[in-house]
Amino acid sequence: MPMVHEDQDRHKGFTRRVLMLTCGKAALLSALVARMYYLQVVEAEKYKTLAEDNRVNLRLLPPRRGKILDRFGQELANNQQNFRVVVVREQTPDLVATLDALSKLIKLSEHDYKRILRDVKRKRAFVPVTVKDNLSWNQVSSIEVNSADLPGASIEVGETRFYPYGADFSHILGYVAAVSEKELTGDPLLELPGFRIGKSGVEKYHDNDMRGQAGTSEFEVNAYGRVIRELARNEGGSGREMILTVDAGLQTFVQQRLMSEQSAASVVIDIKTGDVLAMGSVPSYDPSAFNLGLSSKQWNKLINNQFTPLTNKAIAGTYAPGSTFKMIVALAAMKEGIGATSHTAFCPGFMKLGNARFHCWKRGGHGHVNMIEGLQHSCDVYFYDVSRRIGVDKIAEMANKLGLGNRVNIDLPGERSGVIPTKAWKLANIGEPWQGGETLITSIGQGFVLTTPLQLAVMVSRIASGGKKVIPRITRGYRENGKAIAYEQKEFEDLGIPQEHMRMIYQGMDAVSNNPRGTAYKYRIREEGWELAGKTGTAQVRRITLAERQAGIFKNEDLPWRRRDHGLFVAYAPVDNPRYACAVVVEHGGGSKSAAPIARDILRETQRRDPARTSAISFDAKVDVNNASGDS
């Protein structure tokens, strides 16, 4: 067969096969083009978004927390620059050498080393890792001077909460600390490393107000997360400055004065406005310790302290009011028609009810006493007598009216309601019917009755204001963008107590302090025009047994601290034209003689400073408090 023919045959077959192959290729290439169309036209938007997500990182900029000011503008809480030294791994040839050099300038413990090396390992090479926080100015300058020997180390500036008055304000202001797992709400701001939120006090109550709006910063990042450049920045807004009702000078005085006792609380109120001018609770704690981070040892010490330094006893400590409760019983009795001067009771030192004997604090008795004398001498039998006539529910009604038994709703977290018993209350809570003797116990502020120092101060305010429903507050308003906004206050409503009843109470309380035979005459204010009117109270924390009574052992000083009586004193001043009300409770102080001198000193200092009449921050506008507060 000639080669030419054979090759022609082969060529024909070849051409056919090549055509088939080419069709196959064309089909496959069409698939490529279809896929390109699908990715770059149909799905393009989706992939463009994904590419932007890859490229752009949004970062939150923490806003500046609002300051807290006292009524005159003194800074109670502010933000201070906080210097920290950081290392960047990729900027140092030898990390450990840099740390060693640093440790010659600032103390670094074994623990610090471990933490730093761990953090460095976890994070990318260009991410700064904090070596030490809260550096002193000296440490900062020594690091700056030696920076040539510290490759990779640099100083960064942040902000931390600072409390210029330290422990004196910790119960009012509370403190800020790192966000716990439970407090996460999904707000990304809370997840920022190092972000702090209010954990108690004003810091907690007005946390949302003071937090401000987070700013944002858009960064372009590469695949490894390194920031290439900033694309956009929105600074956000700093939080509100809260303006408190408190007078910083008075608060400091109160807190220092209370420290003569191991555990005590006091509240001073302006009865015209309800402004809390001071609120002391002893012992206290250092609020910045929480911000910097407590060691478990420090924490346990605070938690296990029998004097409960973390509790604001002024609003969260509940105590039997003792004889300070007698004004309530007196007002309730007058309301039920028992005349203050016309009705008398005979006090032989005790009262018999059935087989039980109810003792007066004075063994020998007071003889015949009327209501004013009953207050002046704090005669228990007089109040046994009237309470038996009117019943416990009438007493409770008056107590509730004057602010006891329910939260007074001050703008602070953690306030407790206390207890004012009624017949129904006992049946519901204890499951037993009311006993007649319990009415007598209640009338001298013992038994089930529990009140907070704040409630007692509110009670005195409502009495001293002539029966106005004084509502206490601790925040006057706030400042935002340079404008001071006041929380609007409605005029206090009248409680409907006849003024002649009030006058009887004033007489009785005046006599307690200013009559030589009054129970607190020793602790009167001698300065003319500043005199106080008060009422003593002693709350037993245990029952005095008959054996003890007969053996004559009921001197409190002989008992261990936990079993001593609480000492209470409530007062207002000046006696003629009341403006300030004060309540003092000394836990296990051994009786009212512990509380009365403190109340006297506080009221004297209050009138000397006279914060209610000294010009405070003036406001540009008013706002309804219910609409203004973040988490009320």
Partner 1 sequence: MNQRVHYLGRHNPEITLGQKIWQLNWGMMLLICLIAAIGLGMLYSAANGNFDPWASKQAIRFGVGFVVMLVVALVDIRIWFRFSYLFYIGALLLLVGVEVMGSIGMGAQRWIDLKFIQLQPSELMKVAIIFALARYFHGVSQEDIGRVTFLFIPLVMVLAPSVLVLRQPDLGTTGMLVMASGAVFFCAGVRLWKFAVVLAAGLAAIPIGWQFLHSYQKNRVLIFLNPEQDPLGTGYHIHQSKIAFGSGGVFGKGFLQGSQSHLNFLPEKQTDFIFTMLAEEFGMVGGLVLLGLYILLMVYGLAISLRSRNQFGRLLAIGLTFNLFLYVFINIAMIMGLVPVVGVPLPLISYGGTVMLTVMMGLGLVMSVWLHRDIKISRHGVHDE
Which spans of this chain sit near partner 1 (rule: CB under 8 A)?
3, 6-7, 9-11, 13-15, 17-18, 20-22, 25, 28-29, 31-33, 35-37, 39-41, 43-44, 46-48, 50-51, 54-55, 220-224, 228
323 noted as active-site residue: yes
Contact between 231 and 239 (Cβ < 8 Å):
no
Contact between 192 and 62 (Cβ < 8 Å):
yes
- The nearer residue to partner 1, 41 or 428, going by C-beta atoms, is 41
Angle at which helices 392-401 and 380-390 cross, to 10° = 100
- Write down the least CB distance from residue 24 to partner 1, Å: 9
- The nearer residue to partner 1, 39 or 184, going by C-beta atoms, is 39
Catalytic residue among 200, 263, 323, 465: 323
Which of 609, 601, 612, 595 has the alpha carbon at shortest distance from 282? 595
Contact between 602 and 278 (Cβ < 8 Å):
yes
- The nearer residue to partner 1, 225 or 630, going by C-beta atoms, is 225
- The nearer residue to partner 1, 22 or 545, going by C-beta atoms, is 22
- Whose tokens are 């009702």? That residue is 245
d(CA 199, CA 268): 24
- The nearer residue to partner 1, 11 or 517, going by C-beta atoms, is 11
- Write down the least CB distance from residue 4 to partner 1, Å: 8
- Write down the least CB distance from residue 137 to partner 1, Å: 40
Which of 523, 356, 568, 329 has the alpha carbon at shortest distance from 442? 329
Q: How many other CB atoms are found less than 10 A from the CB of residue 50?
A: 11
Residue 237 is classified by DSSP as B
Cα-based distances in Å from 294 to 96, 155, 177, 218, 329: 28, 24, 10, 35, 47
The verdict on whether omega for the bond into residue 574 sits within 30 degrees of 0, i.e. cis, is yes
Distance, first Cα to last Cα, the chain:
108
Contact between 275 and 475 (Cβ < 8 Å):
no
- Whose tokens are 């000078």? That residue is 249
- Write down the least CB distance from residue 259 to partner 1, Å: 59
- Write down the least CB distance from residue 225 to partner 1, Å: 10
- Write down the least CB distance from residue 88 to partner 1, Å: 20
DSSP-derived secondary structure for 496-510 = ---HHHHHHHHHHHH
- The nearer residue to partner 1, 55 or 389, going by C-beta atoms, is 55
- The nearer residue to partner 1, 42 or 148, going by C-beta atoms, is 42
- Write down the least CB distance from residue 123 to partner 1, Å: 17
Give Cβ neighbours of residue 53 (< 8 Å, ≥ 6 apart).
none
Active site residue ranges: 323
